[in-house]
Amino acid sequence: MTLISSVDRTSVDRPKDKQRSRITNGSALLPGIDGRSAWVRRTKDIISSHVSDLGGVDNTSAAERSLIRRASVMTVELERLEAQFATAGEADPDALDLYGRTSGNLRRLLEAVGLQRRAREVGPTLADIIQEDWRQQERTP
Sign of CA dihedral 77, 84, 49, 25: positive
Instruction: Check if the beta carbon of residue 24 is closer than 8 Å to that of residue 39.
Output: no
Q: What is the pLDDT of residues 53-107, one digit of tens each?
A: 888 888 889 999 999 999 999 999 999 999 999 999 999 999 999 999 999 999 9
Residue 102 in domain: yes
Threshold 0.85, pTM exceeds: no
Q: Which residue range is the domain that position 75 belongs to?
A: 38-112
Mean pLDDT of the chain: 82
DSSP 37: S
Residue 123 in domain: no
Distance between CA atoms of 41 and 29, rounded to whole angstroms? 9
Residue 4 in domain: no
Residue 7 in domain: no
Domain tally, the chain: 1
pLDDT of 29 reads 76
Residue 42 in domain: yes
